[in-house]
Structure 1
C-alpha cells in the first residue's frame, strides 16, 4: 500500500496538534498553585477553624479531610455526619469549616485538596491541648509546732503537654522540688506532681500556702488551690493598764494579754517585792484593785501558759495622789516614803525662813519706835502736839515742809 504526499501531511498535522495539546496541558499543570492552610491550636472543649485558600481555580472543587482521611466537606456538601463540624464559607477559591467541642481525639493532621490534574493538597496540624485539672494539695492535716517541718504535695492531672506547678506563700513565690511528670494510661495526657518542705516559724501562722498550675490552655491566669498554715507557738505577753495615770482611791485593773497559738488560758499574777496587796483580786487575765493606795506601788508580773509554752512580762505601778491633775503630763510620781520625806523637808525650810523674817522685822520695829519717843521728848516743851515736837527736836525751820509720821 502506498500513501500520497497529502496523506503524510495530514498525519503530520494531527501529530503536531496533539503535541501542542499536551504542551498546553503541561503548562496548565505548572501554573496551578497548591492550596494554602495554617496550623491551629485549641484547648479541649473549644472551637477550631480550618481555612483553605487557592489563588486561582479552574472550577475544580476544594475538599477538607480529617486525620483518618475521611471527607468532611466537598465544596458545600457535608460528607461526614458529625454535627460538631459546620460549613462557614465555600467558594471556588476558599473553603472554611469549624469543629466545635474539640476532643483529644481530634488532634492530628487535616488535609485540604483541590481536584486538578494532578490533585494538589496541603496539610494543617490541629494541636489539641489537654486542660489540667485544679491542683490538689495533700500531706498537711494538723497544726505543726514552731521550728518543725511540714511537707505539702501538689498534684494536677489531665494536662497536654505537661503543666508546670508553682508554690506561693501568700503572694510570694517560693521554690519547691522539681516537677515529676507521669503519662496517664489510655489517653495522651499527663499527671504532674510537686513537693514543698518548709521549716515554720510563728510568722507563718495563718499564712496561705498555694499551688498554682501554669499551662497554655488556661487563658485567664493560673488555676490554684490554697491551704492555711497553722503553727503552734508559745505566747508573747504584755500587760495593758486600765489608764496611764492611776490615782488614789480609784478602781483600777491590769490586763495580761498573751499572743500565742493556741491562745493562753492559764494566768499567774505575782508582785516582785512581796505578796499581792490585800485589795487586789486576780480574775484570770485581770488583776483588779478595788481602791488604789500608795502602798500598791510596785512591780507586778504576769505569766501566761497556752500548753505549748509560757511567757511572762512585768509592769511598774505608780499611784498618783488624789489631788494631782491626771491630765497634766508633767506630773511625776515617786514611791510613798520619798514623797513624805521631800514634803517634810520643804515645809521645815519654809517655816525656818518665816521665823527668821519675823525676828528681823520685830527688832526693826522696836528700834524705830524708840527713836520716835526720844525725838518727841526733846521738842515737847514748845510744841502744841507730838508731831511738832519731833520737828522742833530735829531743828526744823519754818520755811520747810512739815514732816509727819503716822503710826497705825
Structure 2
C-alpha cells in the first residue's frame, strides 16, 4: 500500500512539472546608444524548452550564442538562469533597427516572442559651416543673409546663432531639415537674416550646432573686417561699423567690409558722401 501511494505522488509531481510553460521573465525595451558604444538588450526566459534566437528587423540572427555571422553580436548570460541577452558592440547605423527575442516551440509548447525593442543609434553631426564663408561681403545698413549647415546628425542637429557677447540671435532665423540618402541621418540648414546695426558692434556671429550624440556643441564663426580707402579700421570686427570725426577728406571714400570663415573670404564696398555747410 505504501509503495502504491508513493508511486502516485511521484507521478503527480512529474505531471505538474511538465505543464510549466516557457515565458519571459524579462523582455527588451527601446534604447538609445551613441555610435561606437556597446549596448545590451535584455532577455530572460523561464522554463525554456525551445531554441532561443534574436531577430533584427524580423531577420533571424541565429541560435548559437556567439552568433558567428555577426562578429559584433553575441547572446550573453547563463543557460541555467534562462538569460539570453543580446550584446551589440561598437554600435553603427546598421544596428539602428527593431530587435526581438524569440523562443521556438518544442515538447508540445508554443513558441513565444518578446515585445519589439527599437535600438536608436545617435550619430554626431559633422562640424557646422557657414555657407557664405568666414568672411561675408556687406556694408553698414545693408541686410546680411547667413546660412549655417550641419550634416550627418541623428537626431537632426539643433542650430542656434549667437553674437560675440554670447547673446542669442532669435529674430530673423529659419530652419529646414532633410534626410540623407541612408534615410536615418539629416542635413539641417539654418538661415539668419540681419541688418548691420550698433548692437553688432565689436562682435562675431557664431553658428552653434548640437544633438544628443554630442557632449558639447560644435561652432562655426563669422568675423568682419572694415576698410576705408583700403586702410583697415583697427578693432572693427562686427557686422557694422561707426566712422567718427567725418570730414571732407572722407567725401567719396570707399568703405569695404570683409568677412571670413573656413570656406573662404568675401567682401563688398560702398561709397560715402560727406555733406558740409
For Structure 1 versus Structure 2, the TM-score category normalised by the shorter chain is 0.5 to 0.7
Asked if structure 1 preserves the Cα contact closer than 8 Å seen for 2:163 and 2:169, the reply is yes
Q: CA deviation at 1:107?
A: 1.6
Out of 93, 111, 121, which is 1:119 matched to? 111
Partner of 1:15: none
1:187 to 1:196, Cα distance in 2 relative to 1, 3 A: same
Q: CA deviation at 1:155?
A: 0.9
Distance in 2 (CA, whole Å) between partners of 1:231 and 1:165 is 28
Using the size of structure 2 for normalisation, the TM-score is 0.66
- Does 2:203 match 1:173? no
Partner of 2:8: none
Distance in 2 (CA, whole Å) between partners of 1:139 and 1:81 is 47
User: Based on CA coordinates, which of the two structures has the bigger radius of gyration?
Assistant: 1
Out of 38, 41, 45, which is 1:50 matched to? 41
Q: CA deviation at 1:196?
A: 0.6
Distance in 1 (CA, whole Å) between partners of 2:159 and 2:121 is 21
Partner of 2:140: 146
Q: CA deviation at 1:164?
A: 2.1
Partner of 1:396: none
Partner of 1:228: 223
Out of 89, 99, 102, which is 2:88 matched to? 99
Greater share of helix residues, 1 or 2?
1
Matched position secondary structure for 1:28: coil
Q: CA deviation at 1:109?
A: 1.4
Larger relative CO (CA 8 A, sep 6+): 1 or 2?
2
Asked if structure 2 preserves the Cα contact closer than 8 Å seen for 1:146 and 1:233, the reply is no
Greater share of strand residues, 1 or 2?
2
Out of 49, 61, 80, which is 1:71 matched to? 61
1:260 to 1:125, Cα distance in 2 relative to 1, 3 A: closer
Deviations 1:346-389 (A, max 9, x none): xxxxxxxxxxxxxxxxxxxxxxxxxxxxxxxxxxxxxxxxxxxx
Asked if structure 1 preserves the Cα contact closer than 8 Å seen for 2:75 and 2:87, the reply is yes
Distance in 1 (CA, whole Å) between partners of 2:179 and 2:23 is 45
- Which ranges of structure 2 fall in alignment gaps of 5 or more residues? 1-11, 238-244, 256-271
Distance in 1 (CA, whole Å) between partners of 2:199 and 2:227 is 11
Q: CA deviation at 1:72?
A: 4.5
Partner of 1:212: 208
1:261 to 1:61, Cα distance in 2 relative to 1, 3 A: closer
Partner of 1:163: 157
Deviations 1:8-36 (A, max 9, x none): xxxxxxxxxxxx99x9589523x744652
Partner of 2:240: none
Matched position secondary structure for 2:20: helix
Distance in 1 (CA, whole Å) between partners of 2:48 and 2:77 is 18
Distance in 2 (CA, whole Å) between partners of 1:80 and 1:119 is 24
Q: CA deviation at 1:223?
A: 1.8
Matched position secondary structure for 2:36: coil
Q: How does 1:301-320 map to 2 (within 5 A)?
A: 305=250, 307-308=254-255
Distance in 1 (CA, whole Å) between partners of 2:132 and 2:160 is 17
- Which ranges of structure 1 fall in alignment gaps of 5 or more residues? 1-19, 235-257, 263-267, 269-301, 312-408
- Does 2:175 match 1:183? no
1:230 to 1:198, Cα distance in 2 relative to 1, 3 A: farther
Asked if structure 2 preserves the Cα contact closer than 8 Å seen for 1:178 and 1:194, the reply is yes
Distance in 2 (CA, whole Å) between partners of 1:259 and 1:63 is 70
1:186 to 1:114, Cα distance in 2 relative to 1, 3 A: closer
Distance in 1 (CA, whole Å) between partners of 2:198 and 2:104 is 75
Using the size of structure 1 for normalisation, the TM-score is 0.47
Out of 195, 202, 210, which is 1:199 matched to? 195
Matched position secondary structure for 2:94: helix
Task: Give the root-mean-square deviation of aligned CA atoms.
Answer: 3.6
Asked if structure 2 preserves the Cα contact closer than 8 Å seen for 1:144 and 1:150, the reply is yes
Q: CA deviation at 1:135?
A: 1.1
1:172 to 1:203, Cα distance in 2 relative to 1, 3 A: closer
